[in-house]
Every structure is written in structure tokens, then in C-alpha cells.
Amino acid sequence: MQWLGLDHRSALVTGASSGIGRAIAEELGRCGVAVGVNYYSGRDEADAVVGAIEAQGGRAVALGGDVAKPEDCRAMVEAVAARFGRLDILVANAGIQRDAAFTELTLADWRRVIDTNLTGAFLCAQEAVRRFRAQPPPPESKARGNIIFINSVHQVIPWAGHVNYAASKGGMKLLMESLAQEVAHEKIRVNAIAPGAIKTPINRPAWSEESALRELLELIPYGRIGEPEDVARAAAWLASDHSDYVVGATLFIDGGMTLYPSFREGG
Ligand code: BGC
């Protein structure tokens, strides 16, 4: 994947022990990026991601940490810089769901989702921007630093029974855009990817049974569920100079889920 020109860069990918984060870490590793593979509880899984990257000749390190804790975010950014010399790319991917009907949703589950998905993205981005400013500009990159938020189609699609998740993702949209506006003049690029239904552990109930999958596919005009690699390839492009003029953008990777599919034959 040399054509992306990403070798000699280093990245921190949060929530990289499974799902979309794992695929992004492995894709960046294939592109020559040295990767900090953050995990929360999946130490063995993170070690496996590191092993997969190293097996392809790449460099990676597993980093435990809770993105909702400022000291953990600081430690992870410092660890990537200490190990690989610098931090060039943050992929703020860590995210969880704790679903419940509105009146059954506990304050603890509201807070945990907002803390991880929104506050966690804020804290990691804050540490990354501080790091980008503190280190010399990268020798072979047009941007001084690059942040990619992994958002969701639910930054625009309301989602009954998931108000904590949808609120975290709606909040992330304006976090991303406001930050992009604030730091673009420093040549720090901030963008997002909004995946639709991607086959990962977070939405297993939506694809593991045939009837659920059939219902899910009704919502996807392109007629298939996404794979983590669909998102990972776009993340590598967004992290590279090939997307240098892309600033404050959200790339929807959703097989058309945001196209109001039920209007195909109505309205
Ligand atoms: C959620 C998944 C869901 C998808 C499409 C994602 O952000 O995490 O559970 O399948 O959006 O609704």
C-alpha cells in the first residue's frame, strides 16, 4: 500500500482490539504506519492485532486504556510518541452501545455511552492536538497532524431505543466540525467517517440471525452488510496526503443507508 505514502507515520487507533478499529489498525499497519493499538478490556485481542501487523512486517504496540479518562488518553499519546518518535494520526474509534427503551435507560448507561463515545473522542483529540503542536512538523507530510473520528449514520438518523448512542454521535458531528474549523489554519486536518451497518460484534443481533439480517438489508440499498475493511480503506485514504484538501468532512460509508431507502417507491 505504498502508493498512499503513509510509511514513516505513526498513529493511535482507539478501540482497536475488535471490529472497525481492528481493521483500521491492520490497514494502517499494511500501509507502513506504526500503530498504537488501544484496547479497554481485550488485551489478548489487541495482542493478536499487534501480531497480525508485525507478521506483515509492520510495527505496532498494544496500549490499554479507558478513553473516558484524561490520564489514560495522555498516557497513550505519550506512549506512541515514546515508542515511535511521534504521533501523526489519531483515529478516535472507541465506541459502545447500551441500548434501552427511553424510560428504561439508566443514568449510568446514558453516562457510560456519552463518556466513551463523545467525551472519549474529545479527550483523545485534545491530547493529539497538543502533541501535534509540541513536535516538529512531519518531514514528508502536507498536514501537521490528522484526526479521524469514527462516527455513525446515527449522527443524522434518529434511533429509537438508542437515544444515548444517537446523542453521542450527533454531538460528535459538531465536535468534529468545530475542531476542524479551529485547527485547520495550523495544518491539522480533522474529518470523520460515518459507517452504516458494518458486520462487527457491536451489532451482532442485527446480522447473526437470518430474519434479522433480512430486515437489516431492507435498510441498505446496496444490498449487503458492510465489512470492517470497507471503512478501513477509507480511513487510510483520509489519513494520507491523497485527501489533503478534505477538511471537516464526513464520509458516509453505508451502502446508501442514509438515502431514505423507504422512499424508493413512495413519497
Ligand atoms: C451501530 C450499529 C448499527 C449501525 C446502523 C452503528 O453506528 O453501532 O449497531 O447497526 O449503526 O444502524
Tell me, yes or no, if 222 is annotated catalytic: no
**Per-residue b or e along 72-89, where b marks 16 or more CB atoms closer than 10 Å to that residue's CB:** bbbebbebbbeebebbbb
- Helix, strand, or coil (residue 12): strand
Domain of 231 in residue numbering reads as 2-200+227-260
Q: Ligand 1: distance of its center to the CA of 33 in Å? A: 28
Q: Is residue 236 situated within a structural domain?
A: yes
Catalytic residue among 39, 40, 165, 260, which? 165
- Nearest-CA residue for ligand 1 atom 2 is 203
CATH code of the domain containing 36 = 3.40.50.720
What cell was used for 228?
A: 470492517
- Nearest-CA residue for ligand 1 atom 10 is 197
Q: Ligand 1: distance of its center to the CA of 166 in Å? A: 10
Residue whose C-alpha cell is 485514504? 237
What cell was used for 8?
A: 514513516
CA distances from 88 to 33, 135, 201, 223, 238 (A): 9, 10, 28, 36, 13
Number of C-beta neighbours around residue 128 at 10 A = 27
For ligand 1, mutation pick of 18, 20, 96, 154 (most atoms within 8 Å of CB): 154
Distance CA 26, CA 245 (A): 25
Q: Is residue 101 situated within a structural domain?
A: yes
Distance CA 135, CA 64 (A): 24
Q: Which atom of ligand 1 is nearest to the CA of 95?
A: 8
Task: Evaluate: CB of 196 within 6 angstroms of ligand 1.
Answer: yes
Q: Is residue 218 situated within a structural domain?
A: no
Q: Is residue 23 situated within a structural domain?
A: yes
For ligand 1, mutation pick of 151, 164, 203 (most atoms within 8 Å of CB): 203
Residue whose C-alpha cell is 441498505? 220
Task: Evaluate: CB of 152 within 6 angstroms of ligand 1.
Answer: yes
Distance CA 81, CA 79 (A): 5
Residue whose C-alpha cell is 511521534? 86
Q: Is residue 207 situated within a structural domain?
A: no
Q: Is residue 36 situated within a structural domain?
A: yes
Give bridge partners of residue 146 from the DSSP assignment: 89, 189
Distance CA 150, CA 203 (A): 16
Between CA 150 and CA 201, with CA 261 as vertex, the angle to 5 degrees is 40
Task: Evaluate: CB of 203 within 6 angstroms of ligand 1.
Answer: yes
**Residue 266 has what pLDDT?**
83
> For each of the chain's 267 residues, which pLDDT tens digit applies?
567 999 989 999 999 999 999 999 999 999 999 999 999 999 999 999 999 999 999 999 999 999 999 999 999 999 999 999 999 999 999 999 999 999 999 999 999 999 999 999 999 999 999 999 999 998 888 999 999 999 999 999 999 999 999 999 999 999 999 999 999 999 999 999 999 999 999 999 999 999 999 999 999 999 999 999 999 999 999 999 999 999 999 999 999 999 999 999 888
The HSE-up count of residue 74 (CA atoms within 13 Å, CB side) is 3
Q: Is residue 213 situated within a structural domain?
A: no
Task: Evaluate: CB of 20 within 6 angstroms of ligand 1.
Answer: no
**Residue 1 has what pLDDT?**
58
Q: Is residue 216 situated within a structural domain?
A: no
- Nearest-CA residue for ligand 1 atom 5 is 197
Quote the number of domains for the chain.
1
**Residue 140 has what pLDDT?**
82
Distance CA 137, CA 127 (A): 16
Strands (E), 110-223: 145-150, 188-195
Q: Ligand 1: distance of its center to the CA of 167 in Å? A: 13
- Nearest-CA residue for ligand 1 atom 3 is 197
CA dihedral 21, 22, 28, 33 (to 10 degrees): 100
Stated pTM of the model: 0.98
**Residue 156 has what pLDDT?**
98
Q: Ligand 1: distance of its center to the CA of 195 in Å? A: 8
- Are the beta carbons of 14 and 38 closer than 8 angstroms? yes
